[in-house]
């Protein structure tokens, strides 16, 4: 489905993989304004979670039995690839097993950019041309809240019980009735020992105040990770913090910025400066760090003792999808531990499926034994998921955070 991109070309170009993370908002001034406008128009006056499709008159006819096809949108470079012919072995195996053709499109470059493409169709009660896509937790929460996500028929996903316990009951989708995670990860602290003089950087307080790091620190443009890490360092719980807590965390960030401690806010474009030593320390995502350490084994990474965010990117079946059952069959397939192991071995994020590690112990022990890919139960227990936000609060928090970034 070829839809005109509603964003200007210069912003669209900035959303390429490696410049803007799969989890981040646009950080340019124009991008901030666009995102704020989208958040406002996308949430005002809509139904609460589970309220059904606001504009759809009736449930669509599922064409799964007649059309052996499923249309799947995902982020670039977020699935296993055969480097020789650039095919996706797991998708090929699914088609061979089920007879269902997968039209796989890597057109999900940014949550808000993608939302801008599909929202007009969803709001008008029209099919988006997609049967399933992968949205980051906060965007998945918004889609559920607006009635733009369909409830899963778990009878078609018997493997759903394989979801990791830490992701099985998130506050924005209790009981996982609308979503299941595709990949997951932590946000913590990374540092380059050459740029820190050999010093480790293991706490949020040190990152924001250590004079030795002044002007050489970057934070993430993803509000939930940056503010979330600061909130936890202040002793707050991400499932229950207040507006006053949020404002206090923002004050700490503003103080660090005003002091010259922070040189900027980034998506996952922090990776090259960190590897080169131009950035001494930063907030960083585990998947990026695993890949960086393959070439720069001396890079340091810490999960703060005060807590760290656990995020997920999630399967979502949009309202009016034409092949819902086929999408559920696809989700079920990837919830087979052997299949998920194939994906995780390539992308190096946290496997959301129980049992995937056991398959990798023999196939790729270095991945199976990596604590950032397969964290222990104790490590998972110290992570926190950022709570779901109502439309007014989401817009309010985003505006305050974007003002910090652009000010």
267: which 2 tokens?
């998506």
Residue 173 and residue 141 in contact, taking contact as beta carbons nearer than 8 Å? yes
Mean pLDDT of 43-48: 28
Give Cα separations from 178 to 135, 141, 312, 317 (angstroms): 12, 9, 14, 8
- Superfamily (CATH) of domain 186-310+391-406: Periplasmic binding protein-like II (3.40.190.10)
**In the numeric block, which tokens belong to residue 31?**
């991008």
Taking phi over 0 as left and psi of -120 to 50 as alpha, with beta for the rest, 197 belongs to left
Sign of CA dihedral 186, 140, 87, 109: negative
Which residue ranges make up each domain of the chain?
A: 69-178+317-335, 186-310+391-406
pLDDT of residue 76: 87
State which of 37-51, 56-70, 99-113, 202-216 shows the largest mean pLDDT: 202-216
Range 62-82 average pLDDT: 94
What is the model's pLDDT at position 407?
Answer: 80
* pLDDT band (50, 70, 90) for residue 24: very low
**Whole-number Å distance between alpha carbons of 312 and 164:** 12
Angle (CA) 237 242 246, round 5°: 85
- DSSP secondary structure, 127-172, as one string: --S-SEEEEEHHHHHHHHHTT-BPPP-GGG-GGGGGB-GGGSSBTT
Angle at 183 between CA 59 and CA 108, to 5 degrees: 60
**pLDDT value at position 83?**
81
Alpha helices for 78-146 (secondary structure H): 89-98, 111-123, 137-145
Given this chain, do its domains 69-178+317-335 and 186-310+391-406 carry the same CATH topology? yes
Q: Looking at mean pLDDT, say which of 27-31, 37-41, 271-275 comes out highest.
A: 271-275
Please tell me the predicted confidence (pLDDT) of residue 186: 94
CA distance 129 to 191: 43
User: What are the structure tokens assigned to 270, written together?
Assistant: 């922090």
Cα Rg for the chain, rounded, in angstroms? 21
pLDDT score recorded for residue 188: 97
Nearest Cα neighbor of 25 from 308, 258, 226, 287 is 226
* Interval 116-129: pLDDT, tens: 999 999 999 999 99
Interhelix angle for 29-43 vs 391-406, to 10°?
Answer: 170
User: What are 318's two structure tokens?
Assistant: 């949009």
Kind of pairing, strands 132-136 and 383-384? Answer: unpaired
Distance in angstroms (rounded) separating the CA atoms of residues 275 and 273: 5
Token pair in block for residue 199? 């010093």
Q: How far apart are CA 239 and CA 210, in angstroms?
A: 29
Q: Select the highest-mean-pLDDT range: 15-29, 74-88, 196-210.
A: 196-210
Res 84 pLDDT > 60 = yes
Cα separation values, 318 from 136, 179, 260, 302, 327, Å: 14, 11, 44, 37, 10
Partners of residue 135 on adjacent β-strands = 314
Q: In this predicted structure, what is the pLDDT of residue 268?
A: 73
| Whether the model pTM is above 0.85 | no
* Residue 125 φ then ψ, to 5°: 70, 35
- Give the per-residue pLDDT at 176: 96
Between 302 and 286, the more confident residue is: 302
Average pLDDT for 171-199: 95
How many whole angstroms separate alpha carbon 124 and alpha carbon 127? 9
Question: Is the pLDDT confidence value at 38 over 80?
Answer: no
Do the bridges between strand 69-73 and strand 217-220 make them parallel or antiparallel, or are there none, so unpaired?
A: unpaired
For domain 69-178+317-335, the question of CATH label 3.40.710.10 is answered with no
Residue 229 has what pLDDT? 98
Report residue 59's pLDDT band, with 50, 70 and 90 as the boundaries.
Answer: low
For residues 45 and 88, which has the higher predicted lDDT (pLDDT)?
88
Would you say residue 37 has pLDDT above 70?
no
pLDDT at 159 over 90: yes
Other residues' Cβ atoms within 10 Å of the Cβ of residue 78 = 20
Closest C-alpha among 12, 18, 10, 3 to residue 268: 18
């Amino acid at each position: 489905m070829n839809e005109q991109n509603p964003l200007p070309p210069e912003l669209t170009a900035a959303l390429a993989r490696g410049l803007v993370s799969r989890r981040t908002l646009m950080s340019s001034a124009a991008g901030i304004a666009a995102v704020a406008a989208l958040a406002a128009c996308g949430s005002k006056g809509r139904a609460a979670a589970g309220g059904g499709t606001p504009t759809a008159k009736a449930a669509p006819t599922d064409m799964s039995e007649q059309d052996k096809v499923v249309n799947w949108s995902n982020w670039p470079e977020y699935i296993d690839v055969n480097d020789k012919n650039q095919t996706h072995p797991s998708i090929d195996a699914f088609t061979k097993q089920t007879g269902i053709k997968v039209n796989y499109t890597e057109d999900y470059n940014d949550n808000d950019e993608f939302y801008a493409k599909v929202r007009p169709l969803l709001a008008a009660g029209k099919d988006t041309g997609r049967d399933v896509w992968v949205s980051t937790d906060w965007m998945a929460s918004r889609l559920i809240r607006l009635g733009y996500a369909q409830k899963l028929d778990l009878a078609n996903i018997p493997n759903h019980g394989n979801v990791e316990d830490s992701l099985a009951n998130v506050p924005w989708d209790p009981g996982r009735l609308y979503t299941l995670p595709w990949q997951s990860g932590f946000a913590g602290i990374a540092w380059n020992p050459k740029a820190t003089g050999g010093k480790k950087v293991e706490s949020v307080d040190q990152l924001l105040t250590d004079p030795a790091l002044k002007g050489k620190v970057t934070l993430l443009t993803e509000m939930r990770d940056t503010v979330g890490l600061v909130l936890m360092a202040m002793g707050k719980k991400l499932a229950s913090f207040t507006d006053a807590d949020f404002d206090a965390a923002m004050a700490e960030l503003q103080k660090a910025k005003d002091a010259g401690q922070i040189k900027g806010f980034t998506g996952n474009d922090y990776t090259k400066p960190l590897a080169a030593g131009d950035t001494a320390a930063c907030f960083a995502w585990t998947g990026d760090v695993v890949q960086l350490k393959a070439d720069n084994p001396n890079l340091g990474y810490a999960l703060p003792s005060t807590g760290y965010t656990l995020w997920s990117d999630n399967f979502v079946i949009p309202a009016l999808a034409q092949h819902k059952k086929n999408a559920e069959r696809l989700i079920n397939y990837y919830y087979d531990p052997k299949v998920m192991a194939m994906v995780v071995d390539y992308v190096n994020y946290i496997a959301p499926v129980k049992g995937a590690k056991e398959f990798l112990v023999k196939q790729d022990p270095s991945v199976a034994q990596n604590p950032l890919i397969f964290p222990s139960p104790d490590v998972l227990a110290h992570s926190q998921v950022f709570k779901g936000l109502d439309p007014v609060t989401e817009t309010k928090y985003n505006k305050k955070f974007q003002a910090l970034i652009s000010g």
